[in-house]
Structure 1
Amino acid sequence: MQITKKFIVVGAGIVTLVAGGGVAFAATTSPAATPNVTAAAPKVTAEQAMQIAHKEVAGAWVSEVDYQRRGTRPDVWEVELTKGTQRHELDVDAATGKVTKHETDKNDDHGRDDHGHDDD
């Protein structure tokens, strides 16, 4: 009779551990426990953002395109273009396609440091 009691107590302990582990597993995989990492895609595509940037800076070539999620501010496509010795950085609103920023500076990537000397 003692063997049966021990077997029942051990069996109940295993069931408790399995049930507790199952609850812990369910709690960590529930939708409320995992953040929403997939956000809606932008309405304006990268291709459209580049076309918009080309309209702003005709004859330039695109050197970089990045999608920036900005939290409380509107998400943008950051498009960098080069035309001659000028580098243009534009922000294109990912929802409306409106250019929200256009900065221009001289492109100094010709093998010289900031003082006009060769890098050698």
Structure 2
Amino acid sequence: MGADIKSFRDLIVWQKAMDLVDVAYRLTSGFPSEERYGLASQLRRAAVSVPSNVAEGYGRHSTADYVRFLQIALGSLNECITQLEISVRLEFVGKDEIKEALELCAEIEKMLVSLVKKLRVKRDG
């Protein structure tokens, strides 16, 4: 990582993923109470998984492990997108309400894919 990166907290992708957690919790707070342990819980767990896996991968001593955890973060991000879309289909939120979350997901996805590519070049090169 660059000289200015001292911790996973310095990674912009981690910071954006933390923003996604905030948005997910804010969105799900308005879900019906019977969804507290259903879709709301799933969406929150998937969102929390994204920065958690970025952080865990950063702490690994192997580039291959780091890449694996970033790929897990990508999987969790795709779960979030799916669960956001389900939330609209079930009319828990409107399409306009998930716009910010989907934009964050797209931004985080680009960053994760780019980071994986850079790490693979570093590892293989």
Q: Shared fold by TM > 0.5?
A: no
TM-score by length of 2: 0.25
Q: TM-score scaled by structure 1?
A: 0.26
Question: Highest relative contact order (Cα 8 Å, sep 6+), 1 or 2?
Answer: 2
| Structure that is richer in helix per residue | 2
